[in-house]
Amino acid sequence: MDVFEAEFGAVTVTGAEGWCAQQGETSLDSRADAEKDDESDSVDTDMPPPREGTSSAGCSKSKRKRKEVDQEPYVVRNAILAEKNKIAEKMVEIMAEDRVLLQQDRKFRIDSVLEILYKLPGVIMWSPFHIGALNHLKANEGNRMAFMSFPSDDDKISYLENMIGVKMYEGL
């Protein structure tokens, strides 16, 4: 255990970029030669690992480059998400417009218009006025829209009487 600690006790592994521990017999031989050669005051070949706080110019450049590379997917992702949000907003607007159109279509559908016809005061089922009004309202959407545009029941009855040429109580 003493030999192990003597050889590797001063070695610290930090995982810092650009440094790795020396391995194999050559590192042992170089350390032994350095210890034996006390008279040589030259540069020590066995450099300690760099601390985490210190960095060389190459390390900071590569770290900066890595940060830029790491940020690229996020920039692309954010751009894609922004485009999807725009598309979703357009879809919501279109759906709202469609909802309004569907409500208008529902308002002018034949069944909706006939419900209002049946609720008009004085309309007798299968009378000449009723049959003429049915045929007129079934003919096209423009007729139904015109009928629905009148605000009062009296105006709706007057419109139908003028369009079909039959008075409500005529022929009874």
61-104: per-residue pLDDT in tens? Answer: 666 666 666 778 888 999 999 999 999 999 998 888 877 766 66
DSSP 8-state secondary structure symbol assigned to residue 31: H
Half-sphere exposure of 40 (CA within 13 A, CB side): 9
Reported as type and span, the H/E element at residue 92 is helix 57-108
Q: What is the 3-state secondary structure (H, E, C) of 61-77?
A: HHHHHHHHHHHHHHHHH
What letter represents residue 132's amino acid? G
pLDDT band at 17 (very low <50, low <70, confident <90, very high): low
When computed from its CA atoms, the radius of gyration of the chain, rounded to whole angstroms, is 46
**What gap in Å lies between CA 137 and CA 144, rounded to an integer?**
5
How confident is the model over 102-115, as a mean pLDDT?
A: 77
pLDDT in tens, 116-159: 999 999 999 999 999 999 999 999 989 999 999 999 999 999 99
pLDDT given at position 150 = 95
pLDDT band at 5 (very low <50, low <70, confident <90, very high): confident
Tally Cβ neighbours within 10 Å of residue 42.
7
Q: Could you tell me which residue, 129 or 49, shows the higher pLDDT?
A: 129
pLDDT at 1 over 90: no
